[in-house]
Structure 1
Amino acid sequence: MAFLSGSACSTPEHMTEYDSPFVGQLSFWHFNMILSGACTAIVVILMVSLMCEHACHLSNPNQQLKIMRICHMLPSYAILSFVPICFPSSYVYLNGWTEVWQAVALYAFFLLLVEFLAPTAEEKFSFFGSLKVKKMFKKGKYREGVSFLKLTYYCVMQYPLVVCICAIAQCVTQSFNRYCLASDSPEYAHIWIEVISNISVTVAINSILRFYQHTKDYMKERHPLRKLLAFKLMVGLIFLESVAFMILESTNLLHQTSSISYADIHIGLPNMIICVQMVPFSFLIRWAYSTKEYKLNSNSNNYKLANDSLEMQDEYGELITEANRQNRTFQGSYQGGRFGIQAWAAYLNPLEMVQDSIHMGKLLRTVHVRKQTIDH
């Protein structure tokens, strides 16, 4: 590609903020730091408290750990958006990693939908083995549920992999002055990374929407629409904003003034919008992903949640003796440990997402083999 060779692109001269008043005696930079900092603090409190609730009421780890990863997107996104407001020169190095967290959350959301549809491996085989999905561009043609699940999974899984590579490339090219935030020329990496990441997120979101469309009737009691909207609106809005600012920057409709610098326009303003909008989305996420359905009591449905979780652990290779299983099911206890420490440990385990991918890959192969055996 063209950005691998050619002239270097230096960091813009006006990365430092202007001191001219914007509101009262405050410059736009100081006003932005105060507003965005307050919003970031609210988001962190709301989301960490929700994650703590799930950790302390961990009755279904296979679902709730994924919910915790979805919740993690908001505080991480807000923090990684707030820091560049304070230190504009860090923007290029941090910006790509915000999308990595977004991709991780989207991937976790897809796996959560699969868990809602079929908690155990046997149920997954039964459900997707009998599912038929209309093909998009071929009228009267149907795709088998197993191949539909596989196609959707790979379309979603590519997103975190692609944006992680893009984030690394962004940091590397910036360190060699080959990223060039101020230019959309194909000579530099900026436009290529933007296009690749936007294509990747579009493929992932469209795949999840289509998956939801064909499976929503099978999980109505789990309120999938509420959970989808809470997540989809947030991801979709961030994507549209990135496209809008790309267009505005290329047409020079946004320009410097006596109180607004280059950094304010290209870094401060977009990140301020993200920090502010994360506050209402935090309330929406708290409502959509409440711990209410996971709290154990004498209700049989709650005990079924614990049973499903233990069965999934057996399917995925964690050896639990029958006596231990019966004992834990009888107690109906939460599995997050004291103060949810075990839940946090599992959540913070960097290999957990890799294990999820391995388990899904094994499941897809097993279901495919069993389906072929039955067909023959």
Structure 2
Amino acid sequence: MNLTCNSTLEDMRIGSEEKIAGPLTFHQLALIIAGASTIVAYIASFYLMWRHALNYTKPREQRHIIRILFMVPIYATSAFLCIWYYWHAVYFQVLSDCYEAFAIASFFALMCHYVAPDLHEQKEFFRNMRPVKPWVWPVNWFAKCGGERGPWRTPTSGLTWFNIIWIGIYHYCFIRVAMTITAVVTQYFERYCESSNSPIFAHIWVIVIEAIAVTIAMYCLIQFYVQLREPLAEHKPFLKVLAIKLVIFLSFWQTIAISLGTSTLHIVSPTAALAYPDLKVGVPSLMLCVEMALFAILHLWAFPYSPYVENAKTSFYPVPDPSMGVPPRENEHGPKMGGFMGLKAFGDALNLWDVIKAFGRGMRWLFVGVKNRHTDPSYQPKPDDVDTSYPMKPYGAAHPSGKSTDHLPIATEFRRSTFGMPKTTDEPVPEESAGLITNAQPNPASPPRRQPSPYLDPRQPQYQYDPSPPAAYTPYDGAGGDLGAAHARYEYDPRGVQSGQSGSTAGWNEPQPGPRHAQRSSTQVRVGNALWGDRNPQGGAAAR
């Protein structure tokens, strides 16, 4: 097996190529065009960053905007140096690609701060976010084929969905830094071999791992945009996603395509006007410089500073569920905190400690929090999750005919022991376990006596009670019994309710006064006189 890298850029020099534009070779012309494009990218990018630094009224958002804007000058500088020092191009390429991971993480953090001001409130937002949209293609294709199982199922909890997106994006920072260190170290020991895609060298493995990691990160970023494009419409997320996605796509995949075309497939070969370093490094670097100048101009519209001036239009944080009816909260402007000439804002943006903490939080959830995710309140059923189909069933019931507490064993046992319910449908009720209803006794209390009106003479016959049964009545059968007696037969009477057993059910319908047919007894007279006084002195004396 040949372990020697046959061709490296360090062993090649450009100097005897044919002229293609007057006295200029391709390498010289590429340096001029790349240098002019880099200057344009610098002017547009630093102007926009400086304006953000002077109007540093929302540091949580603007620090990430400045980081994103830094990507353009870093890429342009790296590409220009790759053309100039093409034999050391690998060092400049991996260093600029390393910053790409921080740009993606900063864009995700910016979108999160558009949702809520801090991590705690962001978690509350996603915990209550409804509905959680299914994964976009191609993951949803696996869900259709294999069902809602495995990693492609749509999470039930919005917080779990947020944590998955969080890990899918921040893991790229670690992978990209690790691959950058790997490339630098293997290049130093001559085991990288950028000009070869052989698996015995580190170059192809670094490319494959980075391709997988950046694809996952960009997929999560697109999924995040699809979920929140409507709540964050006022921030123009589509233009921002386009500005980030195109930069990363062009900087990474066009380099991969040219590498495969020159090293593996041999579609393009060196000529008298184009040396191998021109094909391998010069062409993709020149394209990248021109593209960065265009993206620097695009960023003026994608990440404007005007929303952050002190008298700018007020923006609002979105609500997680529009059906809640909660009004959005205002995203307030603060005082300018950029410091002298905005230098403090630049220092704040260059401090990447928050990115390191975010990666640590993602790893903690991946190895610890994911095991306990079902205990989060977002996994509990919402009040509006009740089945509203017809026939409707009570909330919490397993079937339409069930009770709302049928899923609670203690409630079922209470009904059985208290009300004499059988333990099974075929089991008779034993006398020892009879409940309140079964052991209920008739109420012997007589109907309450009305206090006579002072304007009516109680001695008149039409106002005295007649205990004789009514002339006609309508029978009523209580199927389930009453508070009076179980399995009793009740008879309805407009003047009262008489029980089929001993006693009466006083309190339901108070007996109405009827015609008098009998005189009061002596005991009734004594009790009446003791309670209400002697209403008929002569009759009272006769009774005594």
Partner of 2:161: 148
**Paired residues, what number?**
347
- The one of 21, 28, 50 aligned to 1:52: 50
The aligned counterpart of 1:203 is 216
Distance 2:259 2:276 in 1: 14
Aligned twin of 1:339: 341
TM superposition shift of 1:300: 7.0
Q: Which amino acid aligns with 1:59?
A: T
CA distance in 2, matches of 1:343, 1:363: 31
Q: Is the 8 A contact 1:337 1:343 kept in 2?
A: yes
Whether 1:193 aligns to 2:195 is no
Structure 2 equivalent of residue 102 of structure 1: 100
Q: Unpaired segments of 5 or more residues in structure 2? A: 318-331, 381-544
> What's the secondary structure of 2:143's corresponding residue?
coil
Indicate if the aligned counterparts of 1:230 and 1:281 stay in contact, CA closer than 8 A: yes
3-state SS of paired residue (2:12): helix
* 1:25–1:223 Cα change, 3 Å: same
Per-residue deviation, 1:204: 0.5
| 1:119 partner SS | coil
8 Å CA contact 2:163–2:362 kept in 1: the answer is no
Query: Which residues of 2 match residues 174-189 of structure 1 at below 5 A?
Result: 174-189=187-202
Tell me if the contact between 1:17 and 1:260 (Cα under 8 Å) persists in the aligned partners. no
Contact 1:18 1:260 in 2 (8 A): no
CA spacing shift, 1:216–1:194, aligned 2, 3 Å: same
Cα distance, 1:48–1:145 mapped onto 2, change above 3 Å: same
1:6 offset after TM fit, Å? 3.6
**Mapping for residues 143-292 of structure 1, pairs under 5 Å:** 143=155, 144-249=157-262, 250-292=264-306
Superposed CA offset, 1:283-319 (max 9, x none): 111111000101112x6727x89xxxxxxxxxxxxxx
Aligned-pair CA distance for 1:33: 0.6
Aligned partner of 1:286: which letter? L
Give the letter aligned to residue 179 of structure 2.
Answer: C
Structure-2 separation of matches of 1:235 and 1:289: 17
Task: Report the Cα offset of residue 57 of structure 1.
Answer: 0.5
**RMSD (Å), alpha carbons:** 2.8
Shift of 1:14: 2.7
Map of 1:43-122 to 2, 5 A cutoff?
Answer: 43-122=41-120
After TM superposition, the structure 1 = structure 2 runs for residues 293-332 of structure 1, keeping only pairs within 5 Å, are: 293-297=307-311, 301=314, 332=334
* Structure 1 residue aligned with 2:133: 133
Deviations 1:224-267 (A, max 9, x none): 11111111122222233123213311222222112211111101
Aligned twin of 1:353:
355
Distance in 2, matches of 1:375 and 1:189, equals 45
Rate the CA distance shift 1:9–1:150 in 2: closer, same or farther, 3 A: farther
Secondary structure in structure 1 of the residue aligned to 2:298: helix
1:173-215 deviations in Å (ceiling 9; x for gaps):
1111111122111111111111111111111101110111112
Residue 31 (str. 1) matches residue 44 (str. 2): no
The residue number in structure 2 matching 1:310 is none
Q: Measure, in 2, the Cα distance between the counterparts of 1:57 and 1:366.
A: 39
Of 111-120 and 354-363, the range deviating more from structure 2: 354-363
Report if the CA contact (8 A) 1:156-1:205 is conserved: yes
Distance 1:31 1:374, change over 3 A: closer
User: In the alignment, does 2:381 pair up with 1:372?
Assistant: no
Seen in structure 2, the aligned counterparts of structure 1 residues 338 and 160 have a Cα distance that, compared at 3 Å, is same
**How far, CA to CA, are the matches of 2:118 and 2:355 in structure 1?**
18
* 2: CA distance, partners of 1:369 / 1:203: 22
Contact 1:17 1:263 in 2 (8 A): no
Normalising by structure 1, what TM-score?
0.84
Match of 1:318 in 2: none
Higher RCO (CA-CA < 8 Å; seq separation 6+): 1
Q: CA deviation at 1:138?
A: 3.4
Relative to its length, the structure with more helix (as a share) is 1
* Displacement after TM superposition at 1:11 (Å): 2.5
Give the partner amino acid of 2:376: Q
Amino acid aligned to 1:337: G
Shift of 1:355: 4.3
Counterparts of 2:259 and 2:5, CA distance in 1: 21
Q: Identify the range of structure 1 (35-44 vs 350-359) with the bigger mean alpha-carbon deviation.
A: 350-359
Paired amino acid for 2:56: L
Retained in 1: the 8 A contact 2:55–2:305? yes
Kept after mapping to 2: 8 A contact 1:39/1:276: yes
- Cα deviation per residue 1:143-184 (whole Å; 9 max; x = unaligned)? 111111111111111112111111111111111111112211
Q: Specify whether residues 40 and 370 from structure 1 end up closer, same or farther in structure 2 by C-alpha distance, changes over 3 A only.
A: same
Secondary structure class of the residue paired with 2:133: strand
Percent identical pairs in the alignment equals 28
* Pair 17,199 (structure 1): closer, same or farther in 2 beyond 3 Å: farther
Amino acid corresponding to residue 111 of structure 1 in structure 2: A
- Maintained 8 Å contact 1:33/1:82: yes
User: What is the alpha-carbon distance in structure 1 between the residues aligned to residue 369 and residue 212 of structure 2?
Assistant: 31
Identify if the C-alpha distance between structure 1 residues 356 and 339 changes in structure 2 by more than 3 Å, giving closer, same or farther.
farther
Distance 1:40 1:232 in 2: 20
Q: Are 1:11 and 2:8 counterparts?
A: yes
Q: Report how far residue 362 of structure 1 moved.
A: 8.8
- Residue identity matched to 2:241: L
Contact 1:11 1:177 in 2 (8 A): no
Amino acid at match of 2:133: V
